[in-house]
A and B are shown apart, each in its own frame.
Chain A
Amino acid sequence: DGGITQSPKYLFRKEGQNVTLSCEQNLNHDAMYWYRQDPGQGLRLIYYSQIVNDFQKGDIAEGYSVSREKKESFPLTVTSAQKNPTAFYLCASSIVGRPEAFFGQGTRLTVV
């Protein structure tokens, strides 16, 4: 079945550590996105990519980094520079020019 797979589902990190969240899709979509969701707030865009080896900052990119070495994969690294990293992280993908985005099941990151 085609879809978007995020792993792990739950992740715990100590303060000062970097951590990488995985996102893989087999929908053959060119565009991929990372969003952050906090309680009572809408989804906020962190980074997005429309083509391999290219990506753009979203609204809240500080403290995060991404790479897009393969069409299928768009990992997100939460660095120690992110001041408040505890949140629910969502990865999405879409066809460029078709804006309906399809989401993975999310990774809940907790800093301990």
Chain B
Amino acid sequence: EDQVTQSPEALRLQEGESSSLNCSYTVSGLRGLFWYRQDPGKGPEFLFTLYSAGEEKEKERLKATLTKKESFLHITAPKPEDSATYLCAVLLQGAQKLVFGQGTRLTINP
């Protein structure tokens, strides 16, 4: 069964304390991996798409990387405004729909 697992479920950091969020997947065939940010009560906001192992994408304090089994979202020197739930999703070969992980709730304390 195709599965996407994110860890940790929740993470609290101090402002400026860098860390990484993990998204591991066991799927029959990966066509792409996506990261979204979701603020409370809002819809997810698209961040990155990664298509092949070794690929990296960056946006401000965020950098996403992809291996054959997992993806990491690295956050460098985070600020309180980076607090949100980060969602990972995969697109399977031959499919048009995304399979989502359960998300990591990130809190950055000032």
Contact = CB atoms under 8 A, between A and B. Distances in A.
Contacts of A100: 34, 46, 49
Interface stretch (B14-22, B56-64, B95-103): B95-103
Given A31-B96, A99-B98, 12 more contacts: A4-B43, A40-B9, A42-B87, A43-B87, A45-B98, A50-B96, A90-B44, A92-B43, A101-B34, A104-B43, A105-B42, A105-B43
B43 A90 contact: yes
B74 interface: no
Nearest 4 pairs between A and B by C-beta? Answer: A103-B43, A42-B100, A43-B100, A42-B102
Contacts of B32: 99
Interface residues of A, number: 26
Nearest to B31: A99
Interface of A: 4, 6, 31, 33, 35, 40-45, 48, 50, 58, 90, 92, 96, 99-106, 108
Interface in B81-103: 87, 89, 91, 96-103
Interface string B38-55: 000111111001000000
Q: Which among B42, B43, B91 has the greatest number of chain A C-beta atoms within 10 A?
A: B43
B49 A99 contact: yes
